[in-house]
Amino acid sequence: MIGDKTSLKGRVAIVTGGGMGMGAATARLMAARGACVVVSDTNEKAARETVAMIAADGGTAEAVVADVARESDVEAMIAQTVGRFGKLDCAVNNAAIAPDNAPIAEADMAVFDRLIAVNLRGVMLCMKYEIRHFLKRKAAGAIVNIGSVSSQRPQAFNAAYVASKHGVVGLTKTGSLEYASHGIRVNAVLPGSIDTPMLRTALNSTGKKEEDFAPILSLFGRFGKAEEVAEASAWLCSDAASYVTGHCLAVDAGYLSR
């Protein structure tokens, strides 16, 4: 009988932005598959709520407060993970903030700088310290960076967000090239229109409903579920994806195929 290669039993994982949406769904799924999960977020209450849900489901998790744009926070997050669970095996770098909404000529550079700091610098910092740990242990590891369909197909009025998500793909591919010889796999997941608090906030600001946009953004005519993105991230962290690195997996109901 072939074992379940999607199992994460015995693994230690970090999920950044794990307090809600795709991050929370990913943390819960990875815990359900056997991983000990560090749920990182700037919102301590939200992180603890995810941890409580994991505990209620019989899993093991720990909340860590961290702003991924701050190098000291990221370094401390890795140290806390290792201090609590003894190691780190995989990470889903999911933390991000909502897209900007202005044409380039009217851009608020404070908004631009903060978005790049979290969505791009944050991924870089997480990769830096995650990879350092893998190298120190001389152990294989898996990293999943959360990009976006905007990593491949730009949207107007989202210059900072589009630039940050294109950058995530660049970091992913560079990391895969640099560390494959060490057994470290680096991949990205590119979500499409996923039903999260971030998307609902954006919808509410326009006064539009799901049925107004879903047929345009999805060949299935619906928004995706956070759990559907979580499945992709968990798979890429598992031994089932042992021959996959440098790949950008779109979970977008065919949006990028148009």
Sign (positive/negative) of CA torsion 115, 127, 16, 254? positive
The alpha carbon of residue 253 and the mean position of all alpha carbons in its chain are separated, in whole angstroms, by 18
Residue 222 in contact with residue 212, Cβ under 8 Å? Answer: no
Scored b (16 or more CB within 10 A) or e, 139-160 reads eebbbbbbbbbbbbeeeeebbb
Contact by Cβ (8 Å): 196, 20: yes
Maximum C-alpha span of the chain:
61
Closest CA to 180 of 142, 237, 232: 142
Rg (CA), the chain: 17
State the catalytic residues: 161
Phi, psi of 195, deg, nearest 5: -75, 95
**Closest by alpha carbon to 77, among 133, 119, 35, 11?**
133
The two counts, helices (H) then strands (E), for the chain are: 9, 7
